[in-house]
Amino acid sequence: MKKMQYLLHVIVVAIAATCLAMVATGCNDDGPVVDRINSEADSIALCKIMAAGPVYYEYQHKWDPKKINSLPPDWKVYWRMCEDGKNHIVGMVVCAYDYRLPGRVSEAFADLEYLETVVIMGPGWEGQLPENFGKNITGLGLKETLLTSIDCNMNLAEMWQFFIQDNPLLTTLPDLSTLGRDLDYRQEFNVVITNNENLSGQVPSINMQNKQRYCIQIKGNGYTSVDYHQIGLYRCHWGIENCIEMSNNKISGTLPDYITNDPHRLVRAYYILNPQSDGYGFSNMPSDEEVVRMKKELDLPNSAY
């Protein structure tokens, strides 16, 4: 159990860095990341993104593509040379903690043709993601924003990192049934949706078919129901390589017979769904002692979570 908790902690803390590492590895191998953007379209889009964003105390919205320090505080932009021979923006981290006035996420993100990864952080971001945001994005992180909805057009089928944490006003997510659908089965796949108290209804169904390396963590939200059929069909992979957790939501009820009558599925449901938030839970969820006994009877390894 400690190994699993450690794994989840590492994923939650490092997922933004993981996204950006993916971006960095796409840069030229024969030297450091290039030090300027020479795509006029990207420069114009970045100007619009900064203009729509939060207003900072000690910053004026001026953009010089030759000077990285002309970006707002705690913003980072990653770029690489693309097939057209120009240096395009492929990754962005945009933070808004120490700000004077809040801002919104600009429609100009859609104008960054080669953008792959975006991390948006801080309460200085309000409103919704624009309709065509993220049409080519394969890695998204939202942390501690005041956004209310991210139900927009995104490249979900090819997205391998989806990280949504501590967004207290967020009420709507896009349909995640196609998330990661077109990924190669060997590619890493991470979905973290945690501590978004106003996300309610049914826990999103994530397509786990043909996924070999994954972490699915959907916990601490306001979800009140779950697709038990999906829970029952998750394959039992015992170890710390992969993980699925949907605890600390607000789900109550009774586990169906096709789970409780199958000890493998029942142990799996225990680790996926238990515990729920105070006052919620399942009337027929096995106790800790019963799970220990079932694992011994099933001859599961000690490392099983």
Identify whether the C-beta of residue 10 lies closer than 8 Å to the C-beta of residue 215. no
With a cut of 70, list the residues of the chain below it in pLDDT: 1-36, 58-69, 231-241, 301-305
pLDDT of residue 251: 97
pLDDT tens, position by position, 2-56: 444 444 444 444 444 444 444 444 443 333 333 567 888 998 999 899 999 998 8
pLDDT of residue 18: 46
pLDDT tens, position by position, 264-288: 889 889 989 999 999 999 999 999 9
CA-based nearest residue to 286, from 275, 300, 296: 275
Identify whether the C-beta of residue 54 lies closer than 8 Å to the C-beta of residue 124. yes
Peptide bond into 275 cis (omega under 30): yes
Identify whether the C-beta of residue 152 lies closer than 8 Å to the C-beta of residue 174. yes
Q: In this structure, are strands 213-219 and 243-245 parallel, antiparallel, or unpaired?
A: parallel
pLDDT of residue 141: 96
pLDDT of residue 247: 95
pLDDT of residue 57: 77
Is residue 237 helix, strand or coil? coil
Residues 6+ apart with CB under 8 A from 226: 202, 203, 246, 249, 251, 273
pTM (predicted TM-score): 0.85
**Helix (H) / strand (E) containing 282:** strand 281-282
